[in-house]
Every structure is written in structure tokens, then in C-alpha cells.
Amino acid sequence: MNLNMGAVRNPPRHVTFGAVAFFIIVLFVVFTPRTPHLDVSRLQSSTGSAAPPAAAAAPAGGKTSSKTSSSGSGSAPAAYKSNAEKLYGNDYHGHSSPSDINRVTNDTLGFSKIFVVGLPERSDKRDAIALTSSLTGFHVDWVDGVKGESIPDKAVPFGTDRKKLWESNLGSWRGHMNAIRRIVEDDLESALIMEDDMDWDVRLKPQLERVAQGARALLGSKSNPASPYGDDWDILWLGHCGEVFPELLDENKGKPADDKGIKYMQRKFVIEKDATVPPLDKVTGLIDFKASPEHTRWVHITGAPICTFAYALSQKGARKVLFDLSVDHLNGPFDNSLAWLCRRAVSSVGAPEEKAGDRGLDTKCLSVTPPIFFHHKAKGMMSGDSDIQTVADGAVREKGVTENIVWSARNNIRNMIMGTRMESQYEDISSSKSS
């Protein structure tokens, strides 16, 4: 047998290269970390909803839908997509596009400050706000509420009939005005103001990512705005008892479809399949929720909200409110007066100069419906529900409840502390195990 020993000792070059390449591939496969398989159906069941899709840009006078679109300007917060990340607290930093929207997840929710207005003696409410805000990942500053009896007649604004306005309403007005004045005095770019009995969903930060996308879309925000919510709004109404869309207000019903004002006030950013919206038979408000798919939320031009549970003001918005509800006049309770400012503004868009009046100081107001902040009725004495009105004196509530909130932060304090499964207020929306 004639063996070519040189060939055995020195294999062909292509054989050598092939062996080396195979060896490298084996090392890559063995030592590369594995990415866990993502079971979308399992995650949707765990969070109670499919991942909210991207948001498309809004046409003038039209609706912005949150349906997935290849031309969409935003993307769904990834916290809805993965059960490996907590949906609340300081560790959640957002996954929105453009990325600067993620600033809504900071410890002031994308505003310069968060003020809570409440009477100092209501230590029960302060304890609850301290816990829920800390556990869901933001910091608040307190503004002491005011009792109406402490306000002298000479400090009451022009146009106010003190005899018709309850002293508690007058005190509520002054407490809110003190918070608003802080925005002006401290030259804050913006601030969120809320009342001391507020509740919100544990998933507040992912909610606000979508609200910010909507606010930008509706008012055509420039790129790289100073605020993650855009720079062209004055009032952002995040918590209220309910409101109708502005085109349904009496003064706007008869306007033609091509009216400039109607086109403006019909703008809506629609968030579909929102797991944080209650089912149709539980959601409350003043619009016909059953005319739209279940679990729908809107960011829209403000009509005339009832209640000032939670609202944000920009610097220019705070100046307008301080003038219109204090320095110039005051015609009624604070919430009605603030709503009237927005209503005058939206109803005057496109109106002839002679019919526009003061144009509501051209105040640009946006609302979220259903709201993402709502008044919590705590367990215990029902008389503690309100510092303005006497409520069910002597009656006791066995379990706290909040309308329009699915995973109530107040009702899930224990679960957030213990890291256990979140409790839904509604049986048909499944809860998620926090991580």
C-alpha cells in the first residue's frame, strides 16, 4: 500500500479552515446566553390585555387611533408585553417611542412638581397618599388646604357671592389657588395638582406614556419638547367625575361639520384594548361608552369636566388660571370655574371676533376619558369621604372602592408591599403577579 504521509500530516487548507469554523460555531452555540421564549398568549392572560399597539399620527380634526400602524409615531410600552418587569415603582422607566416620552416615568411623572392639596388635620389621607405615591414610584409636595371661614371678605374675588357659595367651597378654591400660585412664583414649567383622596391604577406610569403620546398628537407637538406631554397645552385634565366631548355641548351642536372649531374639538386620540379601563357595565362618566369597543380610553379636547380630582398646568396655563379665577373674578366653585374657562376657550375656536368674547384666554385644555385619577372612598367612616359636604354621617364602609380604576393603588397597598398578586376591582379583568 502506497501511503502519502505528507498528505496525512498536512491536510488540505480548505479542510483546516472548515474544521476551525466548525469549532468556532460550536463554542458560540454552547456559551451564548439564551433568550427566554416569549409566550404572547400567556403574557396577555397574565396582564389582562393584549399589548397596546402603536399610536398613529392624528389628522387635523380627525381621530388618532391606537391601532397598530406602520406609520405610527409611537410604540406600546413594553411593560404591557412582559411579565418580567414590574408595572409600577421606581424601577419602571418606560419603553415608549420617541424615547423622551419615558420621562413620564420619573419621580414627578414628567412634571416639574406634583402638589397634593389637603387639610393638615386629615392625617389619614396624607398617610394613604404617602404610601401609594411611594409604592407606585413618584414624589409629592403638600399644599395645605384652607378653611373658608379663614378667608376675609376683602380677599374674596370680584363677582363672588359668598352667601351662595359654601364656605367649604371657598376654602377649596383658595387651597387650589395656593398650589397654582406656587407654579407661577417658582417659575415651574408644569405641575400636577391633585386632591388628597385620589386613587389611581398601579400601572399609572404605562398609562401616562399613552397620555403623553396622545397629547403630542392632538396639539402637533414639535420634536424634542421640554415636556414629555408636549409644549402647547395649558391644562391637562387627568382626573374628573365625567364630561361630554366638546362637540356635544349645547353651544356647539348646531355648528356645520366643516366649521373650524368643530374640526378642532373633534380631535381624539383613541387607546383601544386598554386593560386599565373597566368593563362597559362598570365604567362611569357622561359619554356613551357602549358606542365604542370595550376597554377604550380617549385623550381629547376638553369640553366641560366636573370635579378637579387631578389636573396639570403648564406655566402659561397657571398664569391664565390665576388671572381668570382670582385676580379678575370668580363666579362659582373652583371646579366649575376651571371647566368654564376651558369651555369658553374651545367653543370660541373659529368663531367670529364679535362672538368670541374673551376666547377663554385661548386656553388649550386636554382631557382623558375615562379619567386615570379618581376619588377613593376609603373603608371606615363614610363621613370622612368629603371635607366639603357631609356624607352618610355614622355609616361605616367595610371595603374601600374607587370608580374607574381597575388595579386600585389604595386597595393594593398590601400586595405592593408584599410583592403578591394584584387585586382587580372587576372580576372579568385578570390580575397579574407582580415581580
Going by their DSSP bridges, the two strands 373-377 and 198-200 should be labelled as antiparallel
425 is a domain residue: no
Give the span between the Cα atoms of 348 and 341, in whole angstroms.
11
Q: Which pLDDT belongs to residue 170?
A: 97
Sequence-separated (6 or more) residues with CB below 8 Å from residue 76 = 51, 52, 53, 54, 95
Phi and psi torsions of 381, nearest 5°:
-65, 120
The helix or strand, by DSSP H or E, that contains position 297, with its residue range, turns out to be strand 297-301
Q: Which pLDDT belongs to residue 179?
A: 99
9 is a domain residue: no
For residues 301 and 346, is the Cβ–Cβ distance under 8 A? yes
Phi and psi torsions of 323, nearest 5°:
-75, -50
- Nine-digit cell string for 174: 383658595
Residue 435: C-alpha distances to residues 11, 49, 96 (Å): 56, 17, 21
Give the span between the Cα atoms of 292 and 417, in whole angstroms.
36
Provide the domain count of the chain. Answer: 1
Give the span between the Cα atoms of 114 and 377, in whole angstroms.
22
97 is a domain residue: yes
Q: Which pLDDT belongs to residue 434?
A: 41
10 is a domain residue: no
Residue type, 386: S
Q: Which residues pair with 381 in a beta bridge?
A: 396
204 is a domain residue: yes
Among left, alpha and beta (phi > 0; psi -120 to 50; other), residue 392 is left
Task: Quote the strand ranges of 225-265, DSSP E.
Answer: 235-239
The model scores a pTM over 0.75: yes
Place of cell 409615531: 73
- State how far Cα 199 lies from the chain centre: 12
Give the span between the Cα atoms of 242 and 303, in whole angstroms.
10
Which residues constitute the domain of residue 211?
40-376
For residues 228 and 110, is the Cβ–Cβ distance under 8 A? yes
Burial of residue 395 (CB within 10 Å: 0-12, 13-18, 19+) is: exposed
Residue 323: C-alpha distances to residues 177, 180, 361 (Å): 10, 11, 10
Q: Which residues of 221-247 are buried (b: 16+ CB within 10 A; e: fewer)?
A: beeebebbbbbbbbbbbbbbbbbbbbb
Burial of residue 389 (CB within 10 Å: 0-12, 13-18, 19+) is: exposed
DSSP 306: B
Give the span between the Cα atoms of 281 and 290, in whole angstroms.
9
For residues 62 and 217, is the Cβ–Cβ distance under 8 A? no
Low-confidence ranges of the chain (pLDDT < 50): 1-9, 15, 25-61, 66-83, 429-435
Of 377, 364, 247, the residue nearest 309 (C-alpha): 377
DSSP 155: G
Any idea what the Cα angle at residue 194 is, between residues 206 and 364, rounded to 5°? 80
- Nine-digit cell string for 26: 460550536
The helix or strand, by DSSP H or E, that contains position 176, with its residue range, turns out to be helix 167-185
361 is a domain residue: yes
Going by their DSSP bridges, the two strands 396-397 and 297-301 should be labelled as unpaired
**pLDDT single digits (tens) 171-194:** 999 999 999 999 999 999 999 999
Rg from Cα positions in the chain: 27
Q: Which residues pair with 306 in a beta bridge?
A: 242
Give the span between the Cα atoms of 124 and 37, in whole angstroms.
46
- Is the peptide bond between 256 and the residue preceding it cis, with omega within 30 degrees of 0? no
6 is a domain residue: no
11 is a domain residue: no
Q: Which residues pair with 141 in a beta bridge?
A: 115
Give the span between the Cα atoms of 12 and 201, in whole angstroms.
69
